Amino acid sequence: MKRIFSRVVITLSLVSFFTDIASEMLYPVMPIYLKSIGFTALLIGILEGIAEATAGLSKGYFGELSDRLGKRVIFIRWGYFLSALSKPTMAISKWPVWIFIVRTTDRMGKGLRTSARDALLSDESTPETRGKVFGFHRGMDTLGAAVGPAVALLLLWLYPGNYTYIFLITIIPGLAAVLLTFLLKEKAKEHIHSNSKGIVSPFSFLKYWNQSPINYRHIVIGLIIFTLINSSDAFLLLKVKEAGASDTMVIGLYIFYNLAYALLSYPMGWLSDKLGMKRMVVFGIAIFAITYLGFALTTKWSMFILLFGLYSLYAASTEGVLKAWLANNLPKTKTATGIGLYNSLQSIATLLASSLAGLIWVVAGSSTVFIISAVGAALAGIYLFTFTRTNVTYQENE
């Protein structure tokens, strides 16, 4: 059995840590900054939806290409480089079209690297340790998501209202992440399949749906139902801002959420290996439903602290675990393709969810958005509980 935390796992975790410092310096600031330059809640929803859809569709394409070529590292390295380069350029102009271009370019980098990275994590683990490996990686990733807003908060304290400076500083952790990718070495081409010489068209990865294991398909269907009601986390921050919180309070709450998320990720991954990934994901979705119902019903600062704590438990129970669950239901030669296909479908659903949430927010108010999400999450959890099997490895499907 492979060691749980190989050098590759640790390196990828550090790369994600530094990248998320850069990304999350901007994330809690982004909705505040966008509103300050004239973006409405609807336009923010469309921006985030398009950005995530770009990332998702490219995850499917580059995931299949990674499997076809039997290469992981080149996709990882260039993906992180593209994101590191794009973030500081957000400061060049406040023109809405430029904001859309830069944000989409950043997400293209995420699409380029994510499926190959997740496949490499899967390669470095076994079905028995996969929850721990993905949980550890997610924990390091999220620790960066706590450090990033803390740095942003310090910069806002030193330079009040100077959002441009925050965008420029992101180049430091972004380049640190890129340099770390040079510690990764490409392995032998183990993943090439019989059609490896065929041309990979932009949407050819969608064909894998009919070839994929049945349990994988049921998992994806349940998760997509959930995604359709799970809009961007930016709306949670907007809700707190709507309740009268200052910029500092919003960012501080987001730091708390990410610290709790980081601390819980490995333990929840460990539990998923022991208790079953299906149980852990369904549990997490149930917590999500309770949390969103709470956001719909409260405007108290003390309750927001509790709700973000619950939200961290949901995220730790699902984000890394569901990738491990999917990997356990995919053949090694199709890991990046299968995870990329899920990511693509998820991002299309996110586009719809974020855009619709922004529209409902404007027309019917924020509480309606969160009530709809809570009910939809309950339905998704029921589907996953009813139609999927626990920890079925691909070998059992063959």
Calculate mean pLDDT across residues 76-87: 93
Domain CATH for 387: 1.20.1250.20
Residues 111, 55 contacting (CB under 8 angstroms) = yes
Check pLDDT > 50 for residue 231.
yes
Tell whether 364 is covered by a domain: yes
Tell whether 198 is covered by a domain: no
Tell whether 57 is covered by a domain: yes
Residue 200 Cα distances to 60, 64, 168, 252, angstroms: 11, 8, 36, 44
Task: Render pLDDT for 174-207 as a digit per residue (tens, 0 to 9).
Answer: 999 999 999 999 876 554 444 455 567 778 888 9
Q: Which two tokens stand for residue 378?
A: 């309950």
Task: Render pLDDT for 24-51 as a digit per residue (tens, 0 to 9).
Answer: 888 767 777 787 777 777 787 778 777 7
**pLDDT for residue 190:** 52
pTM of structure:
0.84
**pLDDT for residue 396:** 44
Rg (Cα) of the chain, in Å, rounded? 20
Tell whether 193 is covered by a domain: no
- Which of 46-50, 96-100, 120-124, 282-286 has the lowest average pLDDT? 46-50
Full residue range of the structural domain in which residue 324 is found? 7-181+205-397
The total domain count for the chain is 1
Going 217 to 220 to 226 to 227, the CA torsion angle's sign is: negative
Tell whether 262 is covered by a domain: yes
Tell whether 230 is covered by a domain: yes
Distance of alpha carbon 164 from alpha carbon 237, whole angstroms: 20
Task: Render pLDDT for 139-179 as a digit per residue (tens, 0 to 9).
Answer: 999 999 889 888 887 888 888 777 788 888 999 999 999 99
Q: Which two tokens stand for residue 220?
A: 């994806």
**pLDDT for residue 1:** 39
> Which of 19, 200, 24 has its CA nearest to residue 113?
19
Let me know if 283 is exposed, middle or buried by CB neighbors in 10 A (0-12, 13-18, 19+). Answer: buried
Distance of alpha carbon 279 from alpha carbon 12, whole angstroms: 27
Tell whether 268 is covered by a domain: yes
* E strand or H helix that includes residue 111: helix 96-123
Give the pLDDT band of residue 397 (cuts 50, 70, 90).
very low
- Which of 89-98, 107-116, 119-128, 259-268 has the lowest average pLDDT? 89-98
Q: Read off the DSSP letter of residue 88.
A: G
Tell whether 2 is covered by a domain: no
Residue with tokens 């500081």: 88
**pLDDT for residue 398:** 42
